[in-house]
Structure 1
Amino acid sequence: MKLAPRDLPGFVARPEPGRAGILLYGADAMRVSLRRQALLKALVGEKGDEEMRLTRLHGPDLRRDPAALMDAMKAISMYPGPRAVHVDAATDQAAPAITAALGDWREGDAVLVVTAGSLGAKSALRKAFEGHRNAYAAGIYDDPPDRAEIEALLRSAGIAEVGRDAMSDLTDLSRAVDPGDFAQIVEKLALYKHGDASPITPEDLAAVAPATTEAEIDALLHAVAEAEVARIPPLVARLSGQGEGAVRLCIGAVMHFRRLYTAAIDPGGPAAGISRARPPVFGPARNRMIRQAQSWGAPKLETALSILTETDLALRSSQKAPQMALMERALIRLAMLNAQR
């Protein structure tokens, strides 16, 4: 039988008893792997129990030894509790052995969990599971996780309460990064809040989320956007001493001011525009950029982007002027542009 994508999270969290097995397939190996990990954990427990009641087989090996799967499904464990057999990297070449094992499945046999890559509608593997009245075939696609999936991941990590703004940030982040990276961020968040029962805040997420730029480049760009002219020369000098190049600073400035411009012209206002930024902006930095977009306004931001475009062309030309001095002058021009109220 086919298992609809909307029903898969529920099945993974609470596998239906008495099912012969499930096929998880999809082009994104990480998404398939995460579903498989969660399902096996629900079936046979944590790692200690897993080693006792889980048998792992490699799909290509079943072509040479098809009986190995049947033996694993029928084996009687010395340990109490449900058993599972996982066949990884399965292809249609393993379909005869898998079809035979499903056809001979009886109550008390191990649950068969098969993972595969992208499979067409005519795949023998898909037909084996879709045509079985007691097994599921579930396609896993590149859709971002929904609210229920995010909440399930948080519960699994031991995170009980998340503030409304933080949940909005988490949803944005889940759409911007790979699922494996998102799961790691949730784990880091759980460690960061260990022993603290207060709800997750945007500031907590900002503390563990991947940084989009180095801290000192970020500080420089905020100083420029907030017209803090006196801070610009020492920050530029420090970055230059650390080996940062003028072209990289210019690229970072273009990205920052382009975000501000996009936010400033958003029909829903700067807050809505910043919330749509990719990669997402979290915590205090988000509120700071909203204020910057409001302060500058679209006309001035257009001028700022023109100045940065001219600077970028000058940096990449054959002119002899010192590049970092050229970049510093452009940043000071930008800061003074916004200082002119």
Structure 2
Amino acid sequence: MKLAGSAAESFVKRPDPAVRAVLLHGPDEGQVRERMQALTRTVCPDVGDPFRVADIAPATLSDDPARLADELAAIAFGGGRRVVRVAQASDSQAAAILGCLARPVGDALLIVSAGVLPPKSKLRSAFESTDGAVAIACYPAEGRALVALIRQGFADAGIRLEADAAETLAALLADDTASAHAEIEKLRLYLGDEPRALTPDDVRACCGDQSAHSVFELAAAVADGRQGEVQAISDRLFQGGDNAVAIVRGVSRHFDRLFQARAAIEAGASADAAMKALRPAVFFKETDSFRRQLGTWTCPTLLAAIDRLTEVERQCKSTGIPAPLVTQRGLMEIAALARRARGGR
């Protein structure tokens, strides 16, 4: 059976007792890890219990396919249901895993994780079609979905929010869902027992690593047409191991916000009113540069920049050209648009 959306979330919190095997797969490795841990805790609250939680490496399973059935049939010392986990599996281990799906043994919960699996993958097809098995795809939360996930995470942690706090954290995060959970926990510890709501300034003070802030700097440099800084900041990000698609999406979010505000201005709003209407609101330290950029760009030129960024992301994923090269070339072209709009200044 295949589960997605709210059905998947509900299942991870309270799995159907009739389900004996779960496949977690997809591009969001953080979400895969989080869901594997959450499912494990529904059976054994102590995920480090060596008697009730067994981890089998894919290489081990390839060398000894019978190991999986042995672990699934084993009885825990001291009693209790067991969990058997195979992380980062692939179709290379499909024979052993599919054999256990076809001929279940014991009452242990089998959890298998994998990266991106095509629809015709043996593992994916088997989990989606076998009774008593579930397949859940894990994709990055973006936009409103990420904000909703963050709000729910704060609610579960008992943290009250001021306006824009969730949106501010969403803007700081990469698309790895696990980052959201880690940052929420950091903010819970930061607030401690203070009986107050979390503010956007709290989020900015505590969250987002240096690379997230550097992406903000990069977006501002692109929008200002500061090509030398675009080169320097992007070099630093790539040398630090940042992902090209995440960088492009961070810059795209900045241009999306510029477009929203510029459209409001062209509809008759003042620059201040247009900026205040954005969610999250423009950070006070960024107000002057954001207002300056609104004076540089028009709706048509912003749309052209957004279209170019969409094309850059597509090229990063599909052309085979090194992603850093594609990204820097695209960002420099957009920065050149800003310079031309300012008359070359």
TM-score, normalising length: structure 1: 0.64
For the pair 1:186 / 2:184, whether they are aligned, the reply is: yes
- 2:159 match: 160
Q: Which letter does structure 2 place at the counterpart of 1:57? A: I
- 2:80 match: 81
Q: Which letter does structure 2 place at the counterpart of 1:17? A: P
Q: Secondary structure at the match of 2:118?
A: coil
- 2:54 match: 55
Q: Deviations over 1:147-179 (max 9, x none)?
A: 5532443356x34322343133334445x5433
For the pair 1:265 / 2:288, whether they are aligned, the reply is: no
| Preserved contact between residue 263 and residue 293 of structure 1 (Cα < 8 Å) | no
Within-5 A mapping of 1:59-208: 59-105=58-104, 109-144=107-142, 145-146=145-146, 148-154=148-154, 158-174=157-173, 176-208=174-206
Displacement, 1:45? 1.4
Compared with structure 1, are the counterparts of its residues 67 and 274 closer, same or farther at alpha carbon in structure 2 (3 Å cutoff)?
Answer: farther
Q: Deviations over 1:107-146 (max 9, x none)?
A: x611000001111222111122112111101122234244
| Preserved contact between residue 60 and residue 91 of structure 1 (Cα < 8 Å) | no
Distance 1:44 1:123 in 2: 30
Q: Secondary structure at the match of 1:265?
A: helix
**Which deviates further from its counterpart, 76-85 or 145-154?**
145-154
For the pair 1:14 / 2:14, whether they are aligned, the reply is: yes
Q: Secondary structure at the match of 2:2?
A: coil
Compared with structure 1, are the counterparts of its residues 94 and 273 closer, same or farther at alpha carbon in structure 2 (3 Å cutoff)?
Answer: farther
Distance 2:257 2:147 in 1: 28
Structure number with larger C-alpha Rg: 1
User: In angstroms, what is the RMSD of aligned CA positions?
Assistant: 4.1
Compared with structure 1, are the counterparts of its residues 250 and 54 closer, same or farther at alpha carbon in structure 2 (3 Å cutoff)?
Answer: closer
Q: Secondary structure at the match of 2:88?
A: strand
Compared with structure 1, are the counterparts of its residues 247 and 127 closer, same or farther at alpha carbon in structure 2 (3 Å cutoff)?
Answer: closer
Displacement, 1:310? 4.4
| Preserved contact between residue 163 and residue 199 of structure 1 (Cα < 8 Å) | yes
Q: Secondary structure at the match of 1:138?
A: strand
| Preserved contact between residue 159 and residue 188 of structure 2 (Cα < 8 Å) | no
Q: Which letter does structure 2 place at the counterpart of 1:265? A: R
Displacement, 1:73? 0.7
Distance 1:79 1:131 in 2: 35
| Preserved contact between residue 260 and residue 301 of structure 1 (Cα < 8 Å) | no
Give the gaps of 5 or more residues in structure 1: 222-245, 312-341
- 1:30 match: 30
Q: Secondary structure at the match of 1:266?
A: helix
Q: Secondary structure at the match of 2:154?
A: helix
